Chain A
Amino acid sequence: MTDSATRVILKAELLAWRHRLLGRSPVRLALLGIFLLAGAVFIGGGAFTVGAAAGHFLPIARDTILTGGFTSLSVLMLVIGFPTVIATFFVGRELLQLVLAPIRPLDIFIARLVLAMSANLLISSILLMGTLGVGVGSGAPIVFYPLTFLLIFVQVLVVTALQAILMSIVLRWVPARIARDVAAAVAGLSGAGFYLAWNINLRQSFSPQNHPDLSNFTSLVNHVEWLPSAWPGHALSAVIAGNPSEAATWVLFSVVLAVLVLAIAEILYRRTLLTGLGVFGGPPAIWRRGAAKQAIAVARQGAASPFRAIALKDWLSYRRDIRRLSRMLPAFLFPVGYAFAFLRPSRSITGFWTEVFLVGFISMFMSTALATPSIPSERRGFQLLRMAPMTMAQVIRAKIMLTLPPVLVLTFIFSMVVATVSASGVAQYVELAALVLWLGTGFVAVGVSAGAIDPRFDASDDRRAVGLVGTLAGLAGTLGFGLLSVGALALVVFGYSATQGIKQLGPIPATPEVGALMWAGGVVLLVGAAAIVITLLWFANSRLRAWEGAIASV
């Protein structure tokens, strides 16, 4: 009975997934195939090669590498997996249907667990390839390979169940009126905090002489070897070392832990499913009255403006949407955390180009998190914008203007902190500020365009709110704009040096003429970067104007 109910639910999900896949145009399917194939070859092949090289050339570090790999997989799942876990275990009309059906909560739990694990399993395929590579590189016995599959599966199972437990604990013991906020904080900060702490410590293992200090790295990972996330790694390294009893012990530990975590997760889920449906299933019934009144007071002032209307609506929606909030918190935490890391006395940031890279990375990261889903997140409300007397160009402009301030402010603060720590001169401050403004604006425009080019308005999750075409357009645009912009800056900086007679580029002579030529090249690159953004904006506007699908309510 249990099996058949679970099987029925999973079969229906598979069928829906198949219909979604086959519902795509042949071109999109082909693009998806190419994308997956390229990903498998480059990422999977790369991980396998790195693993094989490490397994062969670093026999002493095998245990460290394997335990580190499993721990990093756990951290990654904790960082990015909570929204999926919340959505799968506690949200959705189909879940309501299951609750109404004569099905035991155990069946629902198993089916939802399998679904929640599917995304994490996809991520874990990178670790799988790397670990298989370690096995091949170190000449592991044949049992190593099936055991790798089993232990990675167990690890994904444990972390997914652990996430369900954390959410269930919040639902069970935190008062309902603040449960959403607490859950958002737990979901947003636990993984990100874990990651930052780990990352900041890892950075200490790199000495100021610019070469990695592997012994320090090893000692750090050794500190966390007692963590359950490292147990599967110990099991696999024991197999390679030809120590079956030790391997069996670690496997037993891992499996027993998985059974325990699963049992706790199931018991808690059974008791919190209905509460969770109420808390996470939709917006909270009552919002804090003070906040609502304040919003109205803001709305009462000044002249009517669609731009301000969208801004206020987006701001209110963000604050009240648990899933979006839980994704945004890490986005805000990372720049702050990294800035903190660089402020520490042991940090030594030298070199203007390191700062440029960091500014580029942070503004790109913030833009991807905030700008890309900004149009698809309108959901069915997008129809209101289409019916309102405003153009799609105005909608795109509004979204860009709304996303720019947080991206610029955070990136600006971050870059100024880094510049101060590295004792930059006034000119470098100005250059960094200009770079923040240029890159931030460009990346935000590219992000908003990517969302507008291929929006999925009926996606319940922002991470699925942009289709394949939009994602590829966003990636290409970000890469093109970023490279051309940094290239332009390089030409301007080196061109200035050349005009001053300072030779920095090997055989290239440092003369005013060469400097002028470099500046001209920089301008060309800048124009090219701007052209990429303008093209994407134009394409986004055309796509939105032509958009006319129905939007199902989620």
Chain B
Amino acid sequence: MTPPPAGSPIAVEAQNLVKSYGVVRAVDGVSFQVRRGEIVGFLGANGAGKTTTLRMLCGLLTPTSGKALIDGFDIHAQPLEAKARLGYLDEEPFVHPHLTGREFLNYIADLYRMPRGPERQGRMEKLLGLFELADRNGELIGAYSHGMKQKIGLASLLIREPSVLLLDEPTNGLDPRSARLVKDLLEELAALGTTVLLSTHILEVAQALCKRVAIIDRGHIVATGTIEELRAQAGSEQASLEDLFLKLTAGPESRELIERLLA
């Protein structure tokens, strides 16, 4: 297991996280650290345990054992301190369908006790403009497309400037222009000190954005490190992240599966 580069303080830490459902261990002893200002990719196949891990980190799930720390605060022992610093975007964002985009952002800002006034209003307008939602005044979120819901979900995180972002497939459903916008935005935020843990299936996104990646397979972390470190680990200097991912989470080859299907 490759440790994070030294220097900045640790912003996200999973300490031997375990989540069991009866006899099934969805997450089995996951540990990793993310330093402030880092963008770390969290990769894994469907059902590998990514979302369960993220939900334990943000406090939506209680670990069977282990600890999840956000900026040094245990999300379960000191939830209010940890949650105030954290923003989590679910694969399918948690939104209120009967509110408009502006009303929803106001709701979130109030929930997090953001002082009202021109500064908050200005930030809200900027975010709505950035995500091209400003002219949707009066349109309820329930009528938004999936991509628009994703955008308002992201805006609801960014309006309160959390120091840690946990993002589950943030570019899912976004058009190429918006996906690019999100990528650029995350890089800017990381440069300003925001920590990002990004779960994605789109390996190009991870390769382009993440300095380090952690790969989870069947509830276990099977590799962490920079792309170069993973290449060295796999003994293949030219391998893409996709090749490395497939090698580390080995299953039947796709060609073999297709042949079986068509047989």
Determine the chain A residues whose CB is within 8 A of the CB of B62 once the complex forms. 546, 548
Flag if A388 contacts B83 (CB, 8 Å).
yes
**Cβ-neighbour of A389 out of B80, B98, B107 (below 8 A):** B80
Flag if B106 contacts A287 (CB, 8 Å).
no
Closest chain A residue to B62, Cβ basis: A548
Flag if B86 contacts A387 (CB, 8 Å).
yes
Q: Give Cα A263–Cα B209 distance, bound, in whole angstroms.
A: 61
Given A289-B138, A303-B115, A320-B98, the answer on whether A383 and B106 have CB atoms closer than 8 Å is no
Flag if A287 contacts B114 (CB, 8 Å).
no
Q: Give Cα A316–Cα B101 distance, bound, in whole angstroms.
A: 13
Given A292-B138, A387-B58, the answer on whether A313 and B103 have CB atoms closer than 8 Å is yes
Determine the chain A residues whose CB is within 8 A of the CB of B81 once the complex forms. 389
Determine the chain B residues whose CB is within 8 A of the CB of A384 once the complex forms. 94, 108, 111
**Cβ-neighbour of B99 out of A302, A316, A546 (below 8 A):** A316
- The count of chain B contact residues (Cβ–Cβ below 8 Å) is 42
**Cβ-neighbour of A317 out of B92, B98, B108, B137 (below 8 A):** B98
- The count of chain A contact residues (Cβ–Cβ below 8 Å) is 43
Determine the chain A residues whose CB is within 8 A of the CB of B47 once the complex forms. none
Given A301-B116, A309-B111, the answer on whether A390 and B80 have CB atoms closer than 8 Å is yes
**Cβ-neighbour of B103 out of A299, A301, A385 (below 8 A):** A299
Q: Give Cα A237–Cα B121 distance, bound, in whole angstroms.
A: 71
Closest chain A residue to B118, Cβ basis: A300
- A295 within 8 Å of B (CB atoms): yes
Flag if B83 contacts A387 (CB, 8 Å).
yes
Flag if A386 contacts B116 (CB, 8 Å).
no
Smallest beta-carbon distance A311→chain B, Å = 10
Q: Give Cα A305–Cα B92 distance, bound, in whole angstroms.
A: 26
Determine the chain B residues whose CB is within 8 A of the CB of A285 once the complex forms. 139-140, 143
Determine the chain A residues whose CB is within 8 A of the CB of B108 once the complex forms. 309, 384
- B60 within 8 Å of A (CB atoms): yes
- B109 within 8 Å of A (CB atoms): yes
Closest chain B residue to A381, Cβ basis: B96
Given A292-B137, A313-B107, the answer on whether A389 and B112 have CB atoms closer than 8 Å is yes
- B147 within 8 Å of A (CB atoms): no
Within 8 A of B (CB), among A280-308: 282-289, 292-293, 295-296, 299-306, 308
Given A284-B143, A299-B103, A312-B107, the answer on whether A548 and B61 have CB atoms closer than 8 Å is yes
Determine the chain B residues whose CB is within 8 A of the CB of A283 once the complex forms. 97-98, 140-143
Within 8 A of A (CB), among B125-158: 137-143
Determine the chain B residues whose CB is within 8 A of the CB of A286 once the complex forms. 138-140, 143
- A321 within 8 Å of B (CB atoms): yes
Smallest beta-carbon distance B222→chain A, Å = 25
- B212 within 8 Å of A (CB atoms): no
- B102 within 8 Å of A (CB atoms): yes
Determine the chain A residues whose CB is within 8 A of the CB of B100 once the complex forms. 287, 292, 295
Interface centre among B81, B140, B141 (most CB of A within 10 A): B140
Q: Give Cα A238–Cα B107 distance, bound, in whole angstroms.
A: 63
Q: Give Cα A316–Cα B110 distance, bound, in whole angstroms.
A: 15
- B29 within 8 Å of A (CB atoms): no
- A348 within 8 Å of B (CB atoms): no
- B59 within 8 Å of A (CB atoms): yes
Determine the chain A residues whose CB is within 8 A of the CB of B42 once the complex forms. none
Q: Give Cα A160–Cα B249 distance, bound, in whole angstroms.
A: 55
Closest chain B residue to A312, Cβ basis: B107
Flag if A289 contacts B137 (CB, 8 Å).
yes
Flag if B102 contacts A296 (CB, 8 Å).
yes
**Cβ-neighbour of B110 out of A289, A293, A309 (below 8 A):** A309
- B113 within 8 Å of A (CB atoms): yes
Within 8 A of A (CB), among B185-224: none
Q: Give Cα A222–Cα B109 distance, bound, in whole angstroms.
A: 61
Smallest beta-carbon distance B220→chain A, Å = 22
- A347 within 8 Å of B (CB atoms): no
Flag if A304 contacts B97 (CB, 8 Å).
no
Smallest beta-carbon distance B143→chain A, Å = 4
Smallest beta-carbon distance A375→chain B, Å = 14
Within 8 A of B (CB), among A522-548: 546, 548
Flag if A284 contacts B116 (CB, 8 Å).
no
Q: Give Cα A292–Cα B137 distance, bound, in whole angstroms.
A: 8
Flag if A317 contacts B88 (CB, 8 Å).
no
Determine the chain A residues whose CB is within 8 A of the CB of B79 once the complex forms. 389, 391
Flag if A320 contacts B140 (CB, 8 Å).
yes
- B84 within 8 Å of A (CB atoms): yes
Within 8 A of A (CB), among B37-72: 58-62
Determine the chain A residues whose CB is within 8 A of the CB of B113 once the complex forms. 304-306, 389
23 chain-A/chain-B pairs, Cβ below 8 angstroms: A282-B143, A286-B140, A289-B138, A296-B103, A299-B103, A299-B116, A304-B112, A309-B107, A309-B108, A309-B109, A309-B111, A310-B111, A312-B103, A316-B99, A321-B98, A383-B90, A384-B94, A387-B58, A387-B60, A388-B112, A389-B84, A389-B113, A391-B79
Q: A287-B100, A303-B115 are in contact. List 10 more A-B contacts (CB 8 A).
A: A285-B139, A296-B106, A304-B110, A304-B114, A309-B111, A316-B103, A321-B98, A380-B95, A383-B94, A389-B80
Interface residues, chain A, with chain B CB atoms under 8 Å away: 282-289, 292-293, 295-296, 299-306, 308-310, 312-313, 316-317, 320-321, 380-381, 383-391, 546, 548, 553
Q: Which 6 A-B pairs have the closest CB atoms?
A: A309-B110, A283-B142, A285-B143, A317-B98, A389-B84, A299-B106
